[in-house]
Chains A and B, each alone.
Chain A
Amino acid sequence: MSDLVSVENLTIDFTTNFGDVHALRGVSFSLKAGEVLGIVGESGSGKTVACRAILKLIAGNALVKSGRIMFEGSDVLAMKDAELGRLRGGQAAMIFQNPSTHLDPIMTVGRQVGEAMVVHQGISWRQANARAVGLLEDMHIKDASRRAGAYPHELSGGMRQRVMIAAALACEPKLLIADEPTTALDVTVQAQILDLLRGIRRERKLSVILVSHDLGVIAEMCDRVVVMKDGAVLEIGSVDQILRDPAHEYTKRLIASQPSLMKPTTHACPVATEPHLLVKNLCVNFYPGQSLAAWATRKPPQIVRAVDNVSLALRRGGALGIVGESGSGKSTIARAIAGLVQPQQGEIEVDGQSLDRALRQRRPEQVRKLQMVFQDPFMSLNPAFTVARTLAEPLRQQNICPERDIPERIRELMEKVELPRQLLDRRTTQLSGGQRQRVGIARALALEPEILIADEVTSALDVTIQAQVLGLFARLRRELSLTLILISHDLGVVRYLCEHVAVMQHGKLVEYGDTEDVLDRPQQAYTQELIAAIPKLSRRTSSGIQPGDTPLLAAGSKC
C-alpha cells in the first residue's frame, strides 16, 4: 500500500503579541490508503494543528518553518487557492468536534449537505437535494427527506454530527479527517457515531485520520496511533503495540491516567447509624417560557421535570457518584442540594436537621457545611480576582477565622490542594486549567465543609491532569473525612472514587446501589446500555502497566 498522505518534518510557529509559539516541531507521520490513523495527545499537543495543516486550514499568523505535506504526490502547502478548493471537500474532508458551531444555523441541513456537490461537481440544486437525502439515509437518519428540511437547532447533537459526516462525504473524498468527533456527545450517542464511522469507512474504503484525547476511542477505531506532546511526535506504532508496550514515559502516563484503569480508592465506610445527608422525594421543575399563542389560548404551561422524585442517602464519610447523560438531571440534583436551584418538593436533611429549600433561608453554618466545586475551571473563578483574594473572601465573609490569621489560613489551603504559594498573587486568569480547578477546590474547602459536591470537576481537564485532580480528591476525602457527592458522565471516574452510585435518566433514578454491584452487575436495561457504550481500553492493554501507578500522582502540583 502506498502512502495517501505523508507529513514530513513539519514545523509551524504561530506569531503572537507575546512572541512565537512553536505549535509543531518537526512532525512526521504518514497515512496509508484505507488505513485509520489515530492521533492522540492532550490540549496544546499540536494534534489539531497537524491535521488541519493537511488541508492547509491554518490561521493567518501561522508560519510554516519547514517541512511539507504530500497528498497523493503533490505538496499541499505549495498549492494555489483553486487547487486547495478542489482538495478540500473533493479529495479530503474534515469533521469537527462541535457540530453545533460548524453547521450554519440559518441553512437547512439538506442544503448544507448538498452545497459541496453543487460547488465541486456542478450539479443542480435539485439533484443535490436528492443526493443529500440519500446521504442522510446512509447516515441512518430516519425519515431523511423530512429531516433534510430541518435547521441544525432542530436536531440533537448526535443527529448534527451525522449531518456533518454526510456533508463531509458529499463529494466522496478519499480521506476523512475527524477532529474529536465524539467528544461533545453522550457516551451512548458516541457509540452510535463510532459505529457509523466504522461502517462508512468499510463501505467507502475511506482513509481516516481520527484525532482524540480518549485512548478508548482510539483503541476501538484505529490501526495505528501517533502520540503527540508539545508539538512533537513521541511515538508511532500499531494500536496493540502502543497500548501493550509503550516506549515513551509519557505514553505510559497517558495510559495509566485513564480513569477506567486506575485502581479504586474507595474504602468501606464505618458502619454509621444515621445518614449524614438525606434527600427525600426531591422534585425540581423548570418552566420554559410560554408562547403568546399558548398563553392566549390558556394552555397549561409546559413543565420540564428536571428531577423527578429522587431520594438518596449518604453516610458520613461516604462517597456517592451520580452518573447519567446530558439532560438526565444529575447537575440539577447537585445544585438543588447546594441551594442554587430551588426544588418545588422534597426534603434535604443534614445530620437529621432539615435544610430550607431556599438558600437564603438557610442558616450560615448550614450553608457553610455544604460546598460545591464546579465543572468548568475557566468559568468558576472570578477573573478579576487574584488567587489570594479568591480564597480570602469566603474566610472573611463567613468569619471562619480572625482577620490576622487569614494569610496563614490561605497558605494552608494552598498546601492542601498542592499548589505552590507563589501563585497566590496571580490573577486567576493566569493559571492553567488544572491549577484553576485546584483553586476552586481550595475555595470550597475554605469554609470547612462537611459535604462536598463535585459537579463534573474533571471533564474540562486533560486526562493526565484529571488523574492528578482525582488523586487529590481521594486524598482530601481521606484526610478531611469529607462526605462526597460526585457528579460525572464518566463511569471510570465514579468507580475510582465512590462506594455508591446512582444512575439517572430523564430526571429519574434508574438504579442505585454499591458501585461494584451496579457497574459490574447492572440490573436495568439503561445501565447496561450505558456501560456497553463505553469504548473499552482495558481489553487491549496488558498488565505491563500497573493501574493507578504512582508516577502520575507524583507529578503533583506541576499541572
Chain B
Amino acid sequence: MSDVMRGSGSLAMARIRTMPATLAIGGAITLAWIVVAILAPVLTSFDPIKVDVMQALKPPGAEHWFGTDAIGRDVLARTLFAARYDLAMAFFGVVGPIILGTTIGLIAGYLGGRIDAVLMRILEVTVSFPYFVLVIAIVAVLGPGLKSYFISLTLVNWVSYARLVRSQALVLRGVDFVLAARGMGFGHLRIMLFHILPNAIVPSIVFVMTDAVLAIVLGSSLGFLGLGVQPPTPEWGAMIADGQTYLTTAWWIAIFPGIAICLLALGLSLTADGLARLLNTES
C-alpha cells in the first residue's frame, strides 16, 4: 500500500515538475485574481460606490493608494471590486458558447450528412454578420446589463467551438476506437459522449482561455459604450471610459483598471499557452 502511495506521490511531483512554466505563471496570476475578487472587502476599507465630492480627483497617496475619481470614489477599491464583475464576465461569457457550440459541433461532426449540412448553414449565417454589430444589436434589443451580455455572447460565440469540435469529430468518427465501439454495439449517444467528446474537446479547452480574454475586452467595450454593467457598479471598462476625459490631469483613474485588465488577460493567455503544451505532450 505504501508503495502505491509513494508511487502516486512521485507521479504528482513529476507532473508539477514537467508542468509548462507558462501554465504555472498564468495559473498563479489567474488564481490571484480570483482570490482578490473574493477577498475584495478585506483588502480595502473603502466602499467602491460611496461618493465623497470633497475627496474628488486626489492623486495616489498614503490614504488613497490609487487616488480617487471625479466624484471622490477610491480607485483601488473600485479596481478590486471590479475583479468580481470582470471575472464573472470572463467565466459566464464562455460557458454558454462552449456548451452550445460543443453540442452542435459534436452532433454535426459525428452524425454528418443532412444534419451536418443544416447546422453548418446556420453557423455560416451567424458568422456572416459583423461580430460586434451582432453582439451590440442583441444587447440593445434585450436591454443593457450582464444577463443580455451573456445571452448575446452565447448566440454569437458558439460558432468557434462548433467549428473546433466538429473538425475533430469528423476525424474521430472514422478512427479505429470509434469503430471498435460501434462494433461492440454501443449507442450513438454513448459513443459521442465518451469516445468522441473527451478527445475532441482539447483544442476548445485551449481556445476557451483566449476566448475568456476576448469576453472581458468585449464586456469592457460594452461597458465603455454604456451597454454593459450599469453605473455605479465598478467595472474596469466603465472605469476606463470614465477616466479617459481626465487622462491628462488625473491619469490614475484610467491607468489602474487598464493595468488590471492587462494582468488578467496575461494570466489567461499564459494559461492557454501552457494548457496547449501540456495537452499536446500528453496526447
Contact = CB atoms under 8 A, between A and B. Distances in A.
Interface of A: 17-18, 335, 338-340, 359, 362, 364, 367-368, 371-372, 374-376, 379-384, 393-394, 397-398, 429, 440, 443, 447
Contacts of B185: 359, 362, 364, 367-368, 397-398
Given A374-B176, A382-B199, A339 B281 contact: no
Contacts of A382: 177, 181, 194-195, 198-199
Contact of B184 (A335, A376, A429, A447): A447
A18 B190 CA distance: 35
Interface in B228-283: 281-283
A376 B283 contact: no
A217 B184 CA distance: 39
Contact of A397 (B183, B184, B283): B184
B177 A380 contact: yes
A234 B81 CA distance: 69
B180 A17 contact: no
B179 interface: yes
B39 to A, nearest CB: 35
Given A17-B281, A382-B195, A397-B190, A359 B183 contact: yes
Contacts of A375: 176
Given A359-B183, A383-B283, A17 B177 contact: no
A287 to B, nearest CB: 14
A443 B176 CA distance: 13
B183 A381 contact: no
Contacts of A379: 175-177
Indicate the member of B18, B179, B184, B282 with the most A CB atoms within 10 Å.
Answer: B184
Given A18-B18, A383-B199, A367 B184 contact: yes
A372 B183 contact: yes
Given A383-B283, A384-B199, A359 B177 contact: no
B62 to A, nearest CB: 48
A74 to B, nearest CB: 39
B182 interface: yes
B176 A380 contact: yes
B184 A394 contact: yes
B277 to A, nearest CB: 9
A18 B283 CA distance: 15
B283 A429 contact: yes
A384 B18 CA distance: 20
A447 B183 CA distance: 11
Contact of A340 (B177, B183, B190): B183
Given A338-B183, A367-B184, 11 more contacts: A339-B182, A340-B182, A364-B185, A371-B183, A372-B180, A379-B176, A380-B177, A382-B195, A384-B194, A393-B194, A397-B184
Nearest to B174: A379
B180 A443 contact: yes
Contacts of B281: 17
B132 interface: no
B279 to A, nearest CB: 11
A382 B194 CA distance: 9
A335 B282 CA distance: 31
B14 to A, nearest CB: 8
Q: Which 6 A-B pairs have the closest CB atoms?
A: A384-B198, A380-B176, A367-B185, A374-B176, A379-B176, A382-B177
Interface string B1-38: 00000000000000000100000000000000000000
Contacts of A381: 177
A475 B283 CA distance: 33
A17 B18 contact: yes
B129 interface: no
A393 B186 CA distance: 9
B176 A376 contact: yes
Indicate the member of A18, A384, A397, A429 with the most B CB atoms within 10 Å.
Answer: A384
Nearest to A364: B185
B254 to A, nearest CB: 42
Contacts of A440: 180
A491 B283 CA distance: 34
Given A382-B199, A397-B190, A359 B182 contact: yes
Given A376-B176, A382-B177, A383-B199, A339 B18 contact: no
B111 to A, nearest CB: 13
Contacts of B195: 382
Contacts of B282: 429
Contact of A374 (B180, B190, B198, B199): B180
A374 B178 CA distance: 11
Given A383-B199, A384-B198, A397-B190, A339 B183 contact: yes
B233 to A, nearest CB: 42
A362 B175 CA distance: 22
25 contacts: A335-B179, A340-B182, A340-B183, A359-B182, A359-B185, A362-B185, A368-B184, A371-B184, A372-B179, A372-B183, A376-B176, A379-B177, A380-B176, A382-B181, A382-B194, A382-B198, A383-B283, A384-B194, A393-B184, A393-B186, A393-B194, A394-B184, A397-B186, A398-B185, A429-B282
Contacts of A340: 179, 182-183
Contacts of A398: 184-185
Interface in B183-204: 183-186, 190, 194-195, 198-199
A338 B183 CA distance: 7
A18 B176 CA distance: 29
A439 B194 CA distance: 18
Contacts of A393: 184, 186, 194
A17 B15 CA distance: 11
Nearest to B282: A429
B129 to A, nearest CB: 29
A374 B179 contact: yes
Contacts of B18: 17-18
Contacts of A367: 183-185
A106 B69 CA distance: 62
Contacts of A383: 177, 199, 283
A203 B176 CA distance: 46
A17 B190 CA distance: 36
Contacts of B283: 383, 429
Indicate the member of A18, A359, A362, A382 with the most B CB atoms within 10 Å.
Answer: A382
